[in-house]
Amino acid sequence: MPGTGHLACVGIGMMLGAHLAPRARSHIEQAEVVFAAVSDALVELWLQTLRPDLRSLQPYYAQGKSRHQTYREMVAAMLAEVRAGRSVCGVFYGHPGVFARVPHDAIAQARAEGFEACMEPGISAEGCLYADLGIDPGRFGCQHYEASQFLLYRRRFDPTATLVLWQIGIVGDRSCARFETGRAYRELLVERLLEDYPPQHEVIVYEAATLPIATPRVDRVALSRLPQTQLTLQSTLVIPPALDAQPDPAMRARLAELDRAHASGASSTEPTRGDEDVECPAVS
């Protein structure tokens, strides 16, 4: 029989108070025990106006301590309350399923032990990025990688699409215990990127706004200047397309053949979809 405990991991978005969705708020207000891992102390203080008994997960972090160990301890703290039969809510900034290992691990463990567990999405830094930079991922395509993974593996990416590298402030950290890496690590990243982009290609260092009175960070620099640029844990690197996409004549010919076959076989009474009903990709 499933246990009586319950776990919900919810996202409160990036901006203080402005991104909290009704379902996430309901979980926060109705849970018996609420844990939180949020972006800064101000957000945590705001959450305490909703739940004065909030239990912060921040003390599990420590300089020089492996984040893997920190994450295991956070999961253990939440699961202990679930096993005790309580309804538990874990609150995470942004989206609880995006660059957040603890919610995924906690939900998987809870379900494996027979408890009910769910995730409520939140507005992520990715969503803010699209809005603040005016990027439509459907226009040219958009690729996302964690910066250190991008360095450690030979990824097959496309310079005709937007490239987004997350956590560039700690690029190259293999210890999972550091909160920043230095210029030499960024130089390795730039060296890798220069295989596919020119040195003067404009890139964007982006950080979403977390306070209603703040503005997002949008610093445009030449790729070659990235090592000298000030970065934080919240910094994301956005690399616009450097090349035009190359048409595939053979595939276009095959699609045209299918179109002709469809047109000749379609009934004269069959309804057709006008341009107003479907948005076609912008191809030349």
Where residue 17 sits, what CATH number does that domain have? 3.40.1010.10
Token reading at 48: 């305490």
In a domain, 270, yes or no: no
In a domain, 258, yes or no: no
What lies within 8 Å, CB to CB, of 174 at 6+ separation is 148, 152
Residues 38, 80 within the same domain: yes
Residues 33, 54 within the same domain: yes
Please state, in angstroms and rounded to a whole number, the distance separating the CA atoms of residues 105 and 95: 15
What lies within 8 Å, CB to CB, of 215 at 6+ separation is 209
Helices (H), the chain: 22-30, 41-50, 67-83, 101-112, 125-133, 137-140, 147-152, 183-193, 249-265
Burial of 254 (0-12, 13-18, 19+ CB in 10 A): exposed
Q: Which residues have a catalytic role annotated?
A: 67, 71, 93
Residues 81, 159 within the same domain: no
Residues 12, 117 within the same domain: yes
In a domain, 282, yes or no: no
Q: Which of 1-5, 139-143, 217-221 has the lowest mean pLDDT?
A: 1-5
Residues 141, 192 within the same domain: yes
Give pLDDT, residue 112: 97
User: Mind listing the pLDDT tens digit for each residue in 110-144?
Assistant: 999 999 999 999 999 999 999 999 999 999 999 99
Residues 108, 180 within the same domain: no
Residues 63, 39 within the same domain: yes
In a domain, 111, yes or no: yes
Residues 119, 216 within the same domain: no
Give pLDDT, residue 266: 67
In a domain, 40, yes or no: yes
pLDDT class for 282, splitting at 50, 70, 90?
Answer: very low
pLDDT class for 34, splitting at 50, 70, 90?
Answer: very high
Q: Which domain holds residue 115?
A: 6-123
Phi, psi of 76 (to 5 degrees): -60, -40
In a domain, 259, yes or no: no
Where residue 205 sits, what CATH number does that domain have? 3.30.950.10
Please state, in angstroms and rounded to a whole number, the distance separating the CA atoms of residues 172 and 32: 40
Residues 23, 113 within the same domain: yes
Higher-pLDDT residue of 228 and 179 is 228
Residues 152, 207 within the same domain: yes
Instruction: Provide the residue type at 242 as one letter.
Output: A
* Sheet strand arrangement including 236-239: 142-146, 162-166, 236-239, 202-207, 217-222
In a domain, 278, yes or no: no
Residues 23, 57 within the same domain: yes
Token reading at 37: 């891992």
Instruction: Flag whether pLDDT at 271 surpasses 90.
Output: no
| Structural domain count, the chain | 2
In a domain, 284, yes or no: no
Which residue from 29, 20, 9, 26 is spatially nearest to 90, judged by alpha carbons? 9
Q: How far is CA 214 from the centre of its chain?
A: 20
pTM to 2 decimal places: 0.85
Chain mean pLDDT for the chain: 90
Task: Work out the angle between the directed axes of helices 41-50 and 22-30 (0-180°, nearest 10).
Answer: 70
Please state, in angstroms and rounded to a whole number, the distance separating the CA atoms of residues 160 and 99: 25
Residues 133, 235 within the same domain: yes
